[in-house]
Structure 1
Amino acid sequence: MGHLQNFISGRRVDPSSPPPYLLKFRSSKTFILSTICVAVFTDIFLYGIIVPVVPFSLTSRAGVPESSVQSWISVLLAVYGAALLVGSPISGWYADHSSSRRLPLLIGLIAMVGSTVMLCLAKSVALLIVGRIFGGLSAAVVWTVGLALLVDTVGQAEIGETLGWVSLSMTLGILVAPLLGGIVYEKAGYYAVFYMAFGLLVLDILLRLVLIEKKMARQWLDDEVTNSDSSSDSSISPNRNEDAVVTDARNKHITNTDEEKVVQSNPSGTTEAAPTSSPHISKWPAMFSLLKSRRLCAGLWGCVVQASLMSSFDSVIPLFVQDTFHWNSVGAGLIFLALVVPSFAAPVVGWACDRYGPRWPCVAGFCFATPFWILLRLVTHNSLNQKVLLCALLALIGVSLTCAMPGLMAEVTYIVEAKEKQIPGRFGKNGAYAQAYGLFITAYAAGTLVGPIWAGYVEDSSGWGTMSLSLGLFSLAGAVPCLIWTGGLITKSNAKTAEERAANPLSGVTNDTLATPRDAEDIV
């Protein structure tokens, strides 16, 4: 019974409790990364897989008239985005104040299962809306808590490469889900789509139950054993909570010793309190402090642009290829493969961000995408050359967006780490990674709302060419703040590798004699 309890909870019930089965494997970086990638893919997949069946649900099951279907589809999309917008900061705050990242992940899993069941069985618009709300809330938990757990696990040195794998999972989910949903719905019917969804959910449930956080594993493993399992982790320990306790104890000892020396050396014999510095923990959530960072605001803007560009395809590409090339739903889904293939390079881009900094991959991605967006206006009629041109341009846009996303995700970690280096302990013992990624996912959700509306409205009112031009210019607008702020102010000598960031967390700001502490705070 003890083994079963430890397997489910991951906690040590009492000193005599046996370690969980396969403890090292279940708390390893590889397994935790795989679990989070599957969770992200599952969440995005469940969001996209029902897109082909929503019109059927509205008309045949919920009794919505054909003339109102498009309006209700927009409502369902907006409800999901709104739940994600509201839920991301809240779940981030909760995760940073919870003793375990695993518990919020399991809560999010319950919301995801509930959402899928409701959408499968819904025969009213109200139940469809509630199901979409639960889906948005589960997505908020998966993203904020999952990304924070990865930072806790791998540290700063490898976070770019690690988030590259997450970015790959996200992109695959976005682009593969509508394709599979359309094919399965056309060949096997309504419920077959949800059978596929429930099968993926079972895998996700098993992985989340088996996962054990590294800080839980340390209840049984010696520090030396744990460190050998994560020998390639960041030189900045991801387990800063435990390190902070040791460091705090050492600092207290040093402070006391210094105070004694001051008392002994004071000729008047009076005691004077030695100046001590303790971290000021604001009563306000850490996200408000983070939002004062120009670097973070630049990263959030880049995320809005990237998500808008990626999600804009969902609203215009299927209708465009249907009207121009007379393709059916399967062909409209297969065209997205041109965007999927480049996403496999995301881990390589993340590795480059870890090694050389995130600025130039992000800037290059947005700038590189601009001409190819504009050149989409050349695709105007039905011919083999036009089909090849469309696929080639989509592939090049996919390469560009793949360059931008891992760096933007990693930049969030770099910023939080730099702020903690400025004032150790400022965000409390649990840090602020979940809240930071809550802001990131909020920006991403905003982008997924803006992109389809922008692309659909401009294409409908002004045509395909104007739509491609406007989104190309929007991509360029994403590059400018990233050029100035991502990785640190461009006019400063900025740290690139994890070692440099650890040695110089302010990215060169403190080397400027004219820089004030407020400048350093806002820049980082």
Structure 2
Amino acid sequence: MSAQPWGYRWRSSQAFIVFTAVLGLFSETFLYGFIVPILSYMLEDRLQLPPSQTQWLTTALLTSHGFFAMASAPIIAHFADKTSDRKVPLLLALAGCATGTLLVAICSSLWLLFLGRMIQAVAGSAGWIVGFATLTDNIRSEHVGKALGTAMSFVTAGVIMGPMVAGVLVQLLGYWAAWCAPFILLGMDFVARLLMIGKNDTQSESSEDAASDENEALLPRKVSSPSDPEQGCTELTGPGFYRIVLCDIRIIAALLNLFMFSLIISGFDATLPLHLRKIFNWGPLPIGMIFLGIQVPGMILGPVVGWLRDRVGLRYPTTVGWVLMAPLLCVLGMPGTGIDWISYGDNGKVVFIGGMIAIGAVAPLVRGAGTFQLIAVTNDLQAEKPTLFGPHGGSSRIFSITEVTFNMGAMLGPLFSGAIVEEFSFSTMVRTLGILSLAVALACFRYLSKECPKRR
């Protein structure tokens, strides 16, 4: 038997692999939101474009990011499921993120800025799909709620912390100093991914088989022998795979939940900076800090909500979350509308900040619910037919569905929100999102699972 690599015990541990996957997910979403508060500076000061073009260029840049991430996801997932090795795809995704980030940072023209974001989008899509696949490969099913709750906390923290860090660093230290933050994060991510030893990197059949029940992945990967008459099903690929999965109404409800959350977050990215500059005259620092109101409650409550889902299921917590989200979104539109006691001054600021904090506290109830439901349903399908998704499982293709859905929201959110703000007002936009949240609450109450995973 060959000697084990240095540090094999901790490098191959579930805790370190989950840490590496979560760090990667955080990095991808951090890079997505990093330019949000400084985009107006990049367009107006660095590229010398007129301020009248800032809103539509912001919308176009964020929309294109969602489009390229969405379009590349199924292709990435197809090839990712052809191999059991997660490290190489993760490293390639990281290299792409670093390249795209460098192009965005040094951009001297509009086309270079869009090119950098396109590369970031494709690489981020790969990191998202393979990262979540790595996560689920190393989580036992009874802990899925806590693990995904924690992971989604860091995913949302990345989206929100990116703008916050950028706004603070740009105003305090300057443009180039601010870009040190994403590159330091990418460096940490690179080291962690090099150190990680996945369960398929150095595999001993005797030891792995003996511990297979204890270390069972979230998505079962039992492979049948061609001569086994009871397990003679064949792998579903291409349109057949997606047709089977997407014909389940429970999955449609899950994807609707995921789409709506992405629509709201990306809509905020496209409209909040300019709205806050208009009504409160805020610069990059306070605009970046306002996103802290969503981040802190979500980080604290994410694992708690995951624990709750493990015990009571998805239906009721998610429904309550969307019902509460509707009025809180409407609160954000109150400052600056001429209401007597909510002016453009301190009262309006208090109401807006309070609304953001409350949304941050409610967000964990809806965030990640779609992914949780998708995993639960596909777990049922694979339990009935273990070879349905092929010898290496179908986790990459499953998460490509979440990636496509999330990025469809990321693509349409800036278009939808930006168009309503341009044509009507920010207040009208958040009220519209509130009404849509109630519709999603109804779908969640009707179709999301009310059983906890242990009973399933």
On whether the aligned pair clears a TM of 0.5, the verdict is yes
Match status 1:37 vs 2:13: no
For the pair 1:411 / 2:366, whether they are aligned, the reply is: no
Identify which of 414, 417, 432 aligns with 1:452.
414
Q: Could you say which residue in structure 1 is the equivalent of 2:312? A: 356
1:283 is displaced (CA, Å) by 4.4
In the alignment, the residues of structure 1 paired with residue 182 and residue 231 of structure 2 have an alpha-carbon distance, to the nearest angstrom, of 53
Aligned to 1:368: 324
1:441 lines up with 2:426 in the alignment: no
Q: Does 1:219 align with 2:175?
A: no
- 1:279 aligned counterpart, secondary structure: coil
In structure 2, C-alpha distance between the alignment counterparts of 1:283 and 1:435, rounded to whole Å: 10
Distance 1:59 1:390 in 2: 27
Structure 1 segments unaligned to the other structure (5+ residues): 1-14, 256-275, 488-493, 502-524
The alpha-carbon deviation at position 182 of structure 1 amounts to 1.9
Of 141, 154, 159, the residue aligned with 1:174 is: 159
2:431 matched to 1:476?
no
Task: Tell me if structure 2 keeps the 8 A contact 1:301–1:478.
Answer: yes
Overall identity of the aligned pairs, in %: 26
Distance 2:353 2:205 in 1: 53
What CA distance in whole angstroms lies between the structure 1 residues aligned with 2:401 and 2:63? 18
Kindly provide the amino acid, as one letter, of the partner of residue 222 in structure 1: S
Q: Is the 8 A contact 1:373 1:471 kept in 2?
A: yes
Q: Describe how 1:164-313 pairs up with structure 2 within 5 A.
A: 164-219=149-204, 222-223=207-208, 237-238=217-218, 240-241=220-221, 243-244=222-223, 248=225, 252=228, 278-284=232-238, 286-313=241-268
Q: Identify if the C-alpha distance between structure 1 residues 119 and 226 changes in structure 2 by more than 3 Å, giving closer, same or farther.
A: farther
Amino acid across the alignment from 1:497: P
Tell me the residue number matched to 1:511. none
1:297 deviates by 1.1
The 8 Å contact of residues 52 and 185 in structure 1, kept in 2 or not, is answered as no
**Cα deviation, residue 218, structure 1:** 3.3
Query: Is 1:387 the equivalent of 2:349?
Result: yes
Q: Which of 65, 76, 81 does residue 91 from structure 1 map onto?
A: 76
Aligned with residue 135 of structure 2, among 150, 160, 169: 150
Partner of 1:496: 452
Q: Distance in 1 between matches of 2:255 and 2:181?
A: 34
User: Would you say the 8 A contact 2:223–2:390 is kept in 1?
Assistant: no
Q: After TM superposition, give the deviation of residue 395 of structure 1 in Å.
A: 1.8
After TM superposition, give the deviation of residue 68 of structure 1 in Å.
4.0
CA contact (8 A) 2:164 2:292 kept: no
Structure 1 residues 73-84: aligned runs within 5 Å = 73-84=58-69
Alpha-carbon RMSD across the aligned residues, in angstroms, is: 2.5
Deviation, 1:53, is 3.9
How far apart are the structure 2 equivalents of 1:211 and 1:366?
38
Query: For 1:293 and 1:408, how far apart are their aligned partners in 2?
Result: 13
CA drift of 1:226 comes to 5.5
1:308–1:447 Cα contact (<8 Å) kept: yes
For residue 304 of structure 1, what is the amino acid of its counterpart? F
Distance in 2 (CA, whole Å) between partners of 1:134 and 1:414 is 32
- Post-superposition shift, 1:194? 1.9
Query: How far apart are residue 466 of structure 1 and its match?
Result: 2.2
- In the TM superposition, what is the alpha-carbon distance from 1:346 to its structure 2 partner? 0.8
The Cα offsets for residues 440-485 of structure 1, whole Å up to 9 and x where unpaired, read as 1111111122223323322332234322321110111111222222
1:104 paired residue number? 89
The CA distance in 1 between the partners of 2:192 and 2:211, in whole Å, is 21
The answer for the alignment partner of 1:139 in structure 2 is: 124
CA–CA distance in structure 1, aligned partners of residues 147 and 198 of structure 2: 16
Which letter maps to 1:363?
T
Name the structure 1 match of 2:298.
343
Query: 1:131-164 deviations in whole A, cap 9, x for unaligned?
Result: 1111001111111111111111003221121111
Q: 1:423 to 1:164 in 2, by over 3 A?
A: same
Q: Which runs of 5+ in 2 are unaligned?
A: 337-342
Q: Which secondary structure does the structure 2 equivalent of 1:391 belong to?
A: helix
Alignment CA distance shift 1:191-1:474 (3 Å): same
Separation in 2 of the partners of 1:473 and 1:98?
A: 43
Cα deviation for residue 202 of structure 1 reads 0.7
* Residue type of the alignment partner of 2:160: L
Higher Cα radius of gyration: 1
Bigger relative CO (Cα 8 Å, ≥ 6 apart): 2
2:255·2:405 contact (CA, 8 Å) conserved in 1? yes
Change (3 A) 1:218 1:352: farther
Deviation at 1:310, TM superposition (A): 2.2
CA contact (8 A) 2:69 2:124 kept: yes
- Matched positions, count: 448
Which residue, out of 286, 289, 297, partners 1:331?
A: 286
Amino acid at match of 1:430: H
